[in-house]
Amino acid sequence: MDQDRWTEVDRYLASIFTPPDPALDAAVESSAKAGLPEIQVAPNQGKLLHILARAVGARAVLEIGTLGGYSTLWLARALPSDGRLISLEIDPKHADVARANLERAGLGGVAEVRELPVGEGQDAMAVVHEVARAGITVHQRHPVERRRVMMEPRRALLEERDSHRRR
């Protein structure tokens, strides 16, 4: 399949499964106006994240890499009313844009964006271990971060999830 066909199929699927949404559209627009790179997940990928979070019954989510908060919006909407999402971001500008997008969407009380400066890897690992012990579902934006940061906590997270299922 060539790129044009792939793009056509992607647009078609997005039109079926992700109708226009003012909060999501505003998040994309404000991120672009702020000069953030246009690398957020596609609408149908956001919908998939939402479906997966609901399917596993996620009550809390840790997101690594916030950008403008587009995927954060999708994930936060999948949580129950008492749910919680923590998103780690290294760039203060990105974090500010994401916080504004979450507040505009009415999700500021559910989702928290934490700034984690570059070089603070130990702090990131502490957060990852904390949420893994609590059974929080993890969403990673970047495959490199997933390999580097998520190896052991991911195993711990799966073990914790399985132990909850057995209860």
List domains and CATH numbers for the chain: 42-166 (3.40.50.150)
Quote the CA–CA distance of 48 and 74 in Å, as a whole number. 9
Q: Tens digits of per-residue pLDDT, 19-66?
A: 999 999 999 999 999 999 999 998 989 999 999 999 989 988 888 889
pLDDT tens-digit map of 90-125? 899 999 999 999 999 999 999 999 988 666 555 667
127: left (phi over 0), alpha (psi -120 to 50) or beta: alpha
Which of 21, 33, 80 is closest to 53 using CA atoms?
80
